[in-house]
């Protein structure tokens, strides 16, 4: 019989089978090419699990010492890029156990899987890996938000147009715009903390689905692995992938916010706006037009949001109809999740670099302010004189129309006499309404664009991060 037709001795499930699997099936089934990133989580899980087996008397203290020594050697091999993958290493769990047997002997190594299934093993590894990845993202996201807050505080005096429907609407502070996205990202930060708590529950000790046959102390295992608690139902423990869905959803929502943030900056960096200029480190040139400076970093941030959303949508379709407990469909959780975690991490770092290094053109921002943006202030002026807002809104509109008919550059160019002709309740102090600084400073309620209101926003956001 040829070597190809012999079942691999390395397979954790091989004893039931006498024939070999199709080589293509081996390739189709294998996950080591992408799940080996979990090597550290897998080794740590085995280390603590064997401590639990030792408490039960199923592994001797001497055997435990040998196992732990072997696991640390394997960990070092992975760290140094010296781990040798072999045929039959279908996943990280198989590869690590096979290598452990080579180091300390298969008899002792064969005990590490006692009472454990790959079903609870992979679920444990995934939760450890995702927990650590999300904690790292949390640190990086905090740094990104703080870079926005720092910039907002230092550039608090710069005014710019605020937009609705991409049309100039009312004057705001540049820092108010920065604060708006810092608010989005701070909500992402808060959601991330909640998800980490739900991820950090231990499935280890649930076996294949029915529970542990030797009464292992699951609380001991959870504490040893840094989990906050155990998943209370073994059927759920091995099959729950909600934490993957939540992580993918979180990444999708965060990337949606990054995409909108990037789109604004792309527009603001164009010649038509001229509000900001990206640093050379986050721009590229044109292969044909030497004058071009393209915001490729921001365009990539905008584009990669679709990549993360696609991973979420695809995985939801993979698990929507599977029956209870573990099914092989769940192997499809790793590639979209790992890709999303990497994409989000890189996006945070790039966005941090962009916002930390771009320069603003305060003069262009302020030159973009036009007097028609103070039409609401004109209406507010009459409200303060006791006129109902619905009426003042109509009167202000008449003033705008009159200025257009006269070919004037703005409503501030109408004379006081013309204002009196439109409505007799206008008084001489109406001309004081046409001041952008005064306009923004009037909006000092919570969340407004007045300096005091924006500074309070920044302080509140920082307090969340602290």
Residue 126 and residue 143: Cα distance in Å, rounded?
Answer: 26
- Cα separations in angstroms, 158 against 113, 174, 184, 270, 461: 64, 6, 21, 19, 20
Burial class (CB in 10 A: 0-12, 13-18, 19+), 155: middle
In which region does residue 112 sit, left (phi positive, over 0), alpha (psi from -120 to 50) or beta (all else)? alpha
Distance CA 109, CA 64 (A): 10
- Tell me the HSE value of 164 on the side-chain side, using a 13 A CA sphere: 4
- Residues 165, 287, 359, 424: which is the catalytic one? 165
CA distances from 240 to 139, 198, 216, 324 (A): 27, 11, 21, 9
Distance between CA 73 and CA 194 in Å, rounded?
Answer: 35
CA 209 to chain centre: 32
- The answer to whether the beta carbons of residues 304 and 255 sit under 8 Å apart is yes
The H or E element that residue 169 is part of is strand 167-173
Question: Cα(first)–Cα(last) distance of the chain, in Å?
Answer: 66
3-state helix, strand, coil in the chain (%, to 5): 65, 5, 30
**Biggest alpha carbon distance in the chain?**
106
Known catalytic residue: 68? Answer: no
**Strand partners of residue 163:** 168
What lies within 8 Å, CB to CB, of 207 at 6+ separation is: 115, 116, 117, 119, 120, 213, 234, 238
Query: Which of 69, 154, 270, 286 is flagged as catalytic?
Result: 286
| Per-residue tokens: 172 | 């705001």
**286 among known catalytic residues:** yes
* Strand 167-173 versus strand 159-164 pairing type: antiparallel
Distance CA 74, CA 83 (A): 7
d(CA 250, CA 189): 10
Query: Pick from 2, 30, 6, 28: which is nearest to 17 by CA?
Result: 6
Cross-strand bridge partners of residue 413: none
Catalytic residues: 165, 286
């Amino acid at each position: 019989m040829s070597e190809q037709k012999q079942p691999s001795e390395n397979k954790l499930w091989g004893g039931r089978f006498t024939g070999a699997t199709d080589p293509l099936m081996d390739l189709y089934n294998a996950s080591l090419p992408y799940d080996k990133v979990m090597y550290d989580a897998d080794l740590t899980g085995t280390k603590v699990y064997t401590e639990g087996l030792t408490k039960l008397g199923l592994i001797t203290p001497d055997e435990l010492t040998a196992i732990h020594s072997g696991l640390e050697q394997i960990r070092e091999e992975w760290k140094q890029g010296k781990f040798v993958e072999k045929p039959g290493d279908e996943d990280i769990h198989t590869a690590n156990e096979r290598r452990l047997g080579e180091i300390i002997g298969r008899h002792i190594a064969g005990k590490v899987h006692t009472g454990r299934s790959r079903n609870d093993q992979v679920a444990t590894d995934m939760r450890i890996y995702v927990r650590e990845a999300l904690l790292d993202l949390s640190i990086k996201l905090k740094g990104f938000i703080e870079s926005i807050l720092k910039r907002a505080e230092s550039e608090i005096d710069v005014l710019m147009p605020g937009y609705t429907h991409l049309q100039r609407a009312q004057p705001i502070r540049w820092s108010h715009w920065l604060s708006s996205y810092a608010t989005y990202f701070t909500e992402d930060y808060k959601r991330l903390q909640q998800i980490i708590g739900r991820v950090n529950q231990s499935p280890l000790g649930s076996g294949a689905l029915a529970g542990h046959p030797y009464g292992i102390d699951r609380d001991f295992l959870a504490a040893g692995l840094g989990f906050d608690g155990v998943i209370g139902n073994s059927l759920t423990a091995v099959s729950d992938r909600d934490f993957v869905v939540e992580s993918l959803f979180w990444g999708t929502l965060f990337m949606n916010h990054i995409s909108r943030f990037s789109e604004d900056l792309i527009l603001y960096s164009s010649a038509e706006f001229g509000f900001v200029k990206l640093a050379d480190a986050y721009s590229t040139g044109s292969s044909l037009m030497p004058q071009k400076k393209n915001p490729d970093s921001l365009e990539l941030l905008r584009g990669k949001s679709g990549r993360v959303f696609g991973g979420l949508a695809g995985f939801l379709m993979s698990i929507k109809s599977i029956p209870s407990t573990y099914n092989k469909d769940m192997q499809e959780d790793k590639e979209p999740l790992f890709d999303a975690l990497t994409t989000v991490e890189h996006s945070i770092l790039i966005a941090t670099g962009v916002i930390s290094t771009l320069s603003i053109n305060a003069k262009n921002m302020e030159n973009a302010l036009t007097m028609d943006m103070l039409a609401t202030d004109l209406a507010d002026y009459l409200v303060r004189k006791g006129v109902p807002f619905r009426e003042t809104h109509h009167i202000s509109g008449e003033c705008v129309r009159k200025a257009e008919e006269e070919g004037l550059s703005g409503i501030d160019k109408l004379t006081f006499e013309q204002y009196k002709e439109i409505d007799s309740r206008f008084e001489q102090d109406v001309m004081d309404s046409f001041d952008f600084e005064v306009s923004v400073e009037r909006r000092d309620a919570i969340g407004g664009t007045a300096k005091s209101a924006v500074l309070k926003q920044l302080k509140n956001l920082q307090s969340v991060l602290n």
